[in-house]
């Protein structure tokens, strides 16, 4: 029992729920109790999720909060179901982002660059920065309620994971799947490193297309480019082999303007003869497609820029930045009369560094690559044969398009922070790859490769390296393959596919079924503002989730995010929606407080027992009791199905409407009558009310853990809802008759309430009424109907002024003291005249063939919809007028 429970015979709750006074206390309690820690030898069935490792430089954003809410809900439910549930946390060293942060810090505090330090000194500075400033997000994960096993926290640069990186590099190298070659790569002049395709963000930029004439007379061709400065490195012009316009030029050379060099005209099927002039300039050292043409046609590759994208070609442009050189080259060409067509606006996709937003420069460079063909095929096969399931399934087509057409992966980065490539070079051109358990070669002239590995290389090992691979650990044997991978659809190709490739390769000795890194991949959408726009600081719609947690509580944020989680769809979110979720938490709090104040408890025998045996016999329960129990166990089944289908929006919506509409609005109200009367019926209602709250809180717990824990502890006095059993549906509690009866009761009450509202009666205003029942089953609910609709018993002088009939119940009301009938009739007649005016206008528009044929379909549809609404309004007003006394 909690201290609060022990202090009172009747458990009590504060009048209001204050998340700030509850959340930190409960999270510390969970951690101290070790609820999130796992034992691989427990014998319980395993369930495991590895966290997509956030950058060590990062802070919690709404995308993190969204993904973490889903993962935490899955893990908490698995734990309650009796699984040994591991959610493993950790961080990524984020090579480029972290090195940039530390370099900036070094420049600001000491006025130095990394080159003022030795490599070892700089790396130590990065470690120092990591210990002092990194990992802010870990504390924010605690705020959100992440039930992770902190004792197993990993970092991609820790000793164990570094050993895993070295091991798989060595194996891939020995198997011929890692090689070194000179290729065109994405180069960031600002970060001074190669980038993989996934580190480049392409977006449409405004450019200028310039047409340039190469050569003269019959030996001239016109080429178009948006990057005029690269023509200094052209080593050929390519045309299609079947293009009659240029057949006489193939095999000949033409003069390259500004350089004095002569370059060949070659025939290559890569050229589209229908695009532009049908001739393209070929710059093998500065364009990936040109590089391929150059390889096929044996063209030289002339580099004309350095690592900072400054021109190195000898001549007047030497030393200029690429963007300075571009207009200078165009001006020089114009002076020579080589510009055929002046600058024309041209929108084209331009790659930008995802870390610093610098325009990426294609550059010929000696780099390390992974030969992906066999690895990608295995990753595709695992989804095709069902060993790994993608949710939603329609994401599979996009996945196959990626893995079936994947290019070799450039894995080397020109950084100092990261896993250094374990290759040594000897004085006589030797190259040796050294595994983590091997000694590197020594002696004069031997040195290690200076590059480090792409950050995605180490994170691709995450599902098994975090569990102890390459060692055969208890964790690896128990928790691999992991159960589910939850991540955004935007990194399906970038991270998920790489984990698939490396998991299937590294764990191949387990066989096809057990080598996959996870069984299910749940792809959620991106969080956007409530208008569906992408959140960004520049738009002014970015949100710090910690601010919302401070204001509304972590549960409110979690529930809002989970309720918007339709599979594969983006998630809109607005502050008013979080406020609505806060109201829901308050509603749960107040309903539980009402139950406790009225003696509802859950005994130790009942707590967690979902069977009918934990309740009074069915024949001793009221219709309302049997109805709510029947609905409760249907909801248990619906929620379980939604979890199995990873449909969080549906499960949250189901729980919201059941809890708010059926339990709190209807059953709690219906329970007040027997609770007021006392006796055996009241005791039975207390037992049912306690049971319903017990099960409802357990169903809600994975999504909103804090408020449900605080309430469940008070309601049951048990250890923790975190380790309470997950509810099970009991079909024996299904009661179709009770559901039908309460459904009719709700129809009666709803219709009377609507009628009262239409008549302008105040919610608390008492009105005398006489009730007649044609349905015997509802006779016993007369007191409930009167309480719920504010109807009093008829007194002397009662005169029926109007009546409402629904579900076999006739409710006769005396409104003579409540309504000024003449004024009400006058108001309604004015409303009717206005509505008929709108109807006539809409009918006239729709009868006009000119309007219906020429107006946009959306406009015509809107008029039709307005007409339907207006006709319904007219019917409603006429019914109200008919219900008023004639005099």
Cβ atoms of 470 and 435 within 8 Å: the answer is no
* Residues contacting 407, CB < 8 A, separation 6+: 197, 372
- Say if strands 90-91 and 154-155 run parallel, antiparallel, or are unpaired: parallel
Local confidence band at 201 (pLDDT 50, 70, 90 cut-offs) = confident
Taking the C-alpha atoms of residue 711 and residue 5, their distance in angstroms, rounded to an integer, is 11
Q: Which of the pair, 563 or 58, is modelled with greater confidence?
A: 563
Cis peptide before 392, with omega less than 30 degrees from 0? Answer: yes
Identify the pLDDT of residue 6: 35
Dihedral angle at the C-alpha atoms of 205, 210, 215, 219, nearest 10 degrees?
90
Identify the pLDDT of residue 9: 53
Nearest to 259 by CA among 303, 327, 313, 320: 313
Checking if the pLDDT of 774 tops 90, the result is: no
Domain stop point among 323, 345, 362: 362
Q: What's the whole-number mean pLDDT along residues 579-596? A: 96
- The CATH number assigned to the domain holding 608 equals 1.10.730.10
Local confidence band at 604 (pLDDT 50, 70, 90 cut-offs) = low
State both tokens at 488: 């955004």
Task: Examine residue 670 and state whether it is found in any structural domain, yes or no.
Answer: yes
Identify the pLDDT of residue 834: 92
State both tokens at 829: 């007649």
Compute the half-sphere exposure of residue 10: CA atoms within 13 Å on the CB side of its CA: 10
Q: What's the whole-number mean pLDDT along residues 271-298? A: 92
Task: Examine residue 538 and state whether it is found in any structural domain, yes or no.
Answer: no
Collapse the DSSP code of 769 into the 3-class scheme (helix H, G, I; strand E, B; otherwise coil) and give the result.
strand
Residues 730 and 767 both lie in one domain? no
Buried b (16+ CB within 10 A) or exposed e, 239-273: bbeebeebeebbeeebebbbbeeebbbbbbeebeb
Task: Examine residue 726 and state whether it is found in any structural domain, yes or no.
Answer: yes
Task: Examine residue 50 and state whether it is found in any structural domain, yes or no.
Answer: no
- Say if strands 46-50 and 253-255 run parallel, antiparallel, or are unpaired: unpaired
Checking if the pLDDT of 85 tops 50, the result is: yes
Collapse the DSSP code of 386 into the 3-class scheme (helix H, G, I; strand E, B; otherwise coil) and give the result.
coil
Q: Which of the pair, 463 or 4, is modelled with greater confidence?
A: 463
Task: Examine residue 221 and state whether it is found in any structural domain, yes or no.
Answer: yes
Cβ atoms of 820 and 827 within 8 Å: the answer is no
3-state DSSP percent of the chain in helix, strand and coil, to 5: 50, 15, 35
Question: Is 866 a known ligand-binding residue?
Answer: no
312 CB neighbour count, 10 Å cutoff = 13
Identify the pLDDT of residue 879: 79
Instruction: Express each pLDDT in 444-474 by its tens digit.
Output: 999 999 999 999 999 999 999 999 999 999 9
Checking if the pLDDT of 432 tops 90, the result is: yes
C-alpha to C-alpha distances, 618 to 629, 707, 728, 737, nearest whole angstrom: 10, 31, 18, 13
Q: Which of the pair, 720 or 804, is modelled with greater confidence?
A: 720
Residues 633 and 773 both lie in one domain? no
Q: What's the whole-number mean pLDDT along residues 433-443? A: 94
State both tokens at 783: 């007191």
> In sequence order, what are the beta bridge partners of 202?
351
Identify the pLDDT of residue 606: 58
By percentage, how much of the chain surpasses pLDDT 90? 67
813 CB neighbour count, 10 Å cutoff = 26
The strands making up 409-410's β-sheet, listed across from edge to edge, are 193-195, 178-188, 361-370, 409-410
Identify the pLDDT of residue 653: 97
Taking the C-alpha atoms of residue 838 and residue 281, their distance in angstroms, rounded to an integer, is 67
Buried b (16+ CB within 10 A) or exposed e, 135-161: bebbebbbbbbbbbbeebbbbbbbebb
Identify the pLDDT of residue 4: 37
Dihedral angle at the C-alpha atoms of 4, 6, 7, 8, nearest 10 degrees?
100
Taking the C-alpha atoms of residue 27 and residue 143, their distance in angstroms, rounded to an integer, is 8
* Residues contacting 33, CB < 8 A, separation 6+: 720
Domain stop point among 362, 377, 402: 362
Identify the pLDDT of residue 804: 83
Taking the C-alpha atoms of residue 602 and residue 630, their distance in angstroms, rounded to an integer, is 19
- The CATH number assigned to the domain holding 300 equals 3.90.740.10
DSSP 817-870: TT--HHHHHHHHHHHHHHHHHHHHHHHHHHH-HHHHHHS-HHHHHHHHHHHHHH
Residues 579 and 685 both lie in one domain? yes
Taking the C-alpha atoms of residue 45 and residue 43, their distance in angstroms, rounded to an integer, is 6
Average pLDDT, the chain: 90
Residues 724 and 781 both lie in one domain? no
Residues 810 and 673 both lie in one domain? no
Residues 571 and 660 both lie in one domain? yes
Checking if the pLDDT of 887 tops 60, the result is: no
Compute the half-sphere exposure of residue 223: CA atoms within 13 Å on the CB side of its CA: 25
> In sequence order, what are the beta bridge partners of 362?
186
112 CB neighbour count, 10 Å cutoff = 14
Local confidence band at 89 (pLDDT 50, 70, 90 cut-offs) = very high
Local confidence band at 622 (pLDDT 50, 70, 90 cut-offs) = very high
State both tokens at 419: 């896993």
What would the 3-class secondary structure string for 610-628 be?
CCHHHCCCHHHCCHHHHHH
Specify the residue for token string 């350095």.
306
Checking if the pLDDT of 319 tops 90, the result is: yes
Task: Examine residue 439 and state whether it is found in any structural domain, yes or no.
Answer: no
Give, to the nearest 10 degrees, the angle between helix 575-597 and helix 705-716: 0
Lowest-pLDDT range, 378-382, 792-796, 832-836? 792-796
Lowest-pLDDT range, 472-486, 532-546, 653-667, 789-803? 532-546
Radius of gyration of the chain (CA): 36
Checking if the pLDDT of 333 tops 90, the result is: yes
- The CATH number assigned to the domain holding 767 equals 1.10.287.380
Domain stop point among 336, 362, 388: 362
Checking if the pLDDT of 492 tops 80, the result is: no
Q: How many domains does the chain have?
A: 3
Question: Residue 295 sits in which domain range?
Answer: 193-362
Residues 702 and 789 both lie in one domain? no
Instruction: Express each pLDDT in 5-47 by its tens digit.
Output: 333 355 678 999 999 999 999 999 999 999 999 999 999 999 9
Identify the pLDDT of residue 603: 63
617 CB neighbour count, 10 Å cutoff = 9
Q: Which of the pair, 879 or 222, is modelled with greater confidence?
A: 222
Residues 629 and 708 both lie in one domain? yes
Taking the C-alpha atoms of residue 440 and residue 424, their distance in angstroms, rounded to an integer, is 7
Task: Examine residue 324 and state whether it is found in any structural domain, yes or no.
Answer: yes
Q: What's the whole-number mean pLDDT along residues 720-747? A: 93
Q: What's the whole-number mean pLDDT along residues 379-389? A: 97
Q: What's the whole-number mean pLDDT along residues 715-743? A: 93
Q: What's the whole-number mean pLDDT along residues 179-189? A: 90
Residues 780 and 728 both lie in one domain? no
Residues 779 and 632 both lie in one domain? no
Give, to the nearest 10 degrees, the angle between helix 736-758 and helix 857-883: 80
Residues 713 and 779 both lie in one domain? no
Lowest-pLDDT range, 7-11, 338-342, 646-650? 7-11
Identify the pLDDT of residue 1: 32
DSSP annotation of 667 reads: I
- Sign of the Cα pseudo-torsion (601, 604, 608, 610, in order): negative
Cβ atoms of 5 and 713 within 8 Å: the answer is yes
Q: Which of the pair, 279 or 11, is modelled with greater confidence?
A: 279
Q: What's the whole-number mean pLDDT along residues 748-753? A: 90
Q: What's the whole-number mean pLDDT along residues 248-265? A: 93
By percentage, how much of the chain surpasses pLDDT 70? 96
State both tokens at 493: 């190709």
Lowest-pLDDT range, 190-199, 676-685, 806-815? 190-199
Task: Examine residue 574 and state whether it is found in any structural domain, yes or no.
Answer: yes
Identify the pLDDT of residue 157: 95
Residues 727 and 762 both lie in one domain? no
Checking if the pLDDT of 380 tops 90, the result is: yes
């Amino acid at each position: 029992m909690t201290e609060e429970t022990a202090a009172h015979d009747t458990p009590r709750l504060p009048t209001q729920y204050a998340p700030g006074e509850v959340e930190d206390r409960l999270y510390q309690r969970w951690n101290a109790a070790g609820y999130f820690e796992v034992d691989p030898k427990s014998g319980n069935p395993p369930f495991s999720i590895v966290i997509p490792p956030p950058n060590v430089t990062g802070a919690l954003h709404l995308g993190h909060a969204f993904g973490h809410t889903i993962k935490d809900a899955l893990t908490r439910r698995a734990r309650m179901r009796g699984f040994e549930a591991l959610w493993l946390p950790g961080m990524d060293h984020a090579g480029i982002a972290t090195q940039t942060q530390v370099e900036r810090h070094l420049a600001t505090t000491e006025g130095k660059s990394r080159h003022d330090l030795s490599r070892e000194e700089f790396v130590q500075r990065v470690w120092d920065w990591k210990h002092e400033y990194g990992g802010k997000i870990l504390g924010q994960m605690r705020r959100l309620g992440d039930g992770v096993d902190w004792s197993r926290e990993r970092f991609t640069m820790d000793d164990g994971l570094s050993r895993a990186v070295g091991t798989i590099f060595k194996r891939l190298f020995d198997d011929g799947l890692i090689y070194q070659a000179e290729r065109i790569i994405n180069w960031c002049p600002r970060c001074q490193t190669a980038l993989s395709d996934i580190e480049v963000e392409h977006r449409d930029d405004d450019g200028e297309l310039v047409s340039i004439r190469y050569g003269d007379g019959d030996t001239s061709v016109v080429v178009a480019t948006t990057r005029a400065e690269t023509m200094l490195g052209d080593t050929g012009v390519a045309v299609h082999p079947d293009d009659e316009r240029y057949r006489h030029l193939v095999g000949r050379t033409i003069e390259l303007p500004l350089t004095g060099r002569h370059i060949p005209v070659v025939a290559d099927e890569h050229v589209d003869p229908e695009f532009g002039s049908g001739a393209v300039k070929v710059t093998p050292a500065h364009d990936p497609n040109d590089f391929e043409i150059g390889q096929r046609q044996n063209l030289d590759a002339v580099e004309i820029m350095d690592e900072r994208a400054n021109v190195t070609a000898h001549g007047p442009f030497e030393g200029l930045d690429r963007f300075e050189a571009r207009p200078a080259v165009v001006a020089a060409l114009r002076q020579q009369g080589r510009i055929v067509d002046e600058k024309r606006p041209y929108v084209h996709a331009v790659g930008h560094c995802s870390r610093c937003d610098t325009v990426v420069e294609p550059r010929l460079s000696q780099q390390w690559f992974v030969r992906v063909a066999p690895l990608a095929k295995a990753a595709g096969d695992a989804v095709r044969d069902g060993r790994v399931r993608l949710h939603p399934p329609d994401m599979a087509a996009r996945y196959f398009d990626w893995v079936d057409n994947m290019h070799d992966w450039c894995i080397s980065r020109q950084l100092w922070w990261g896993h250094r490539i374990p290759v040594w070079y000897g004085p006589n051109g030797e190259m040796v790859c050294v595994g983590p358990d091997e000694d590197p070669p020594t002696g004069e002239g031997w040195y290690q490769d200076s590059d480090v590995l792409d950050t995605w290389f180490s994170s691709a090992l995450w599902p098994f390296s975090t569990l102890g691979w390459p060692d055969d650990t208890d964790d690896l044997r128990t928790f691999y393959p992991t159960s589910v991978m939850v991540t955004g659809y935007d990194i399906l190709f970038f991270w998920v596919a790489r984990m698939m490739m490396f998991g299937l390769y590294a764990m191949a000795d387990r066989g096809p079924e057990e080598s996959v890194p996870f069984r299910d991949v749940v792809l959620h959408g991106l969080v956007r503002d409530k208008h569906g726009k992408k959140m960004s600081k520049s738009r002014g719609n970015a949100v710090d989730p910690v601010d919302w947690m401070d204001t509304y509580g972590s549960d409110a944020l979690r529930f809002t995010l989970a309720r918007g989680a339709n599979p594969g769809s983006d998630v809109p979110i607005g502050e008013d929606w979080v406020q609505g979720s806060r109201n829901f938490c308050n509603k749960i709090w107040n309903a539980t407080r009402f139950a406790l104040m009225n003696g509802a408890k859950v005994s130790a025998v009942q707590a967690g027992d979902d069977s009918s045996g934990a309740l009074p016999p069915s024949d001793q329960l009221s219709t309302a009791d049997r109805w709510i129990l029947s609905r409760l166990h249907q909801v248990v089944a619906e929620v379980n199905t939604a979890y199995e289908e990873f449909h969080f929006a549906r499960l949250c919506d189901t729980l919201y409407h059941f809890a708010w509409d059926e339990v709190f609005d209807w059953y709690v109200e219906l329970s007040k009558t027997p609770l007021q009367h006392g006796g055996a019926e009241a005791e039975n209602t207390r037992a049912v009310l306690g049971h319903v709250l017990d099960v409802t809180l357990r169903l809600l717990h994975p999504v909103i853990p804090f408020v449900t824990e605080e309430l469940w502890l008070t309601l049951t006095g048990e250890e923790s809802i975190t380790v309470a059993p997950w509810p099970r549906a009991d079909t024996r509690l299904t009661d179709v008759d009770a559901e039908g009866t309460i459904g009719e009761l709700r129809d009666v009450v709803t219709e009377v309430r609507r009628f009262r509202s239409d008549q302008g009666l105040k919610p608390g205003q008492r009105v005398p009424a006489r009730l007649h029942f044609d349905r015997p089953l509802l006779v016993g609910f007369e007191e409930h109907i009167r309480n719920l609709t504010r109807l009093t018993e008829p007194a002397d002088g009662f005169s029926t002024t109007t009546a409402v009939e629904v579900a076999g119940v006739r409710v006769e009301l005396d409104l003579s003291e409540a309504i000024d009938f003449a004024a009400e009739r006058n108001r309604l007649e004015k409303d009717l005249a206005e509505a008929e005016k709108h109807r006539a206008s809409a009918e006239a528009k729709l009868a006009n063939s000119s309007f219906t044929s020429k107006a946009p379909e959306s406009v015509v549809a809107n008029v039709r919809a307005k007409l339907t609404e207006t006709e319904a309004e007219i019917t409603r007003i006429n019914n109200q007028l008919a219900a008023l006394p004639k005099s």
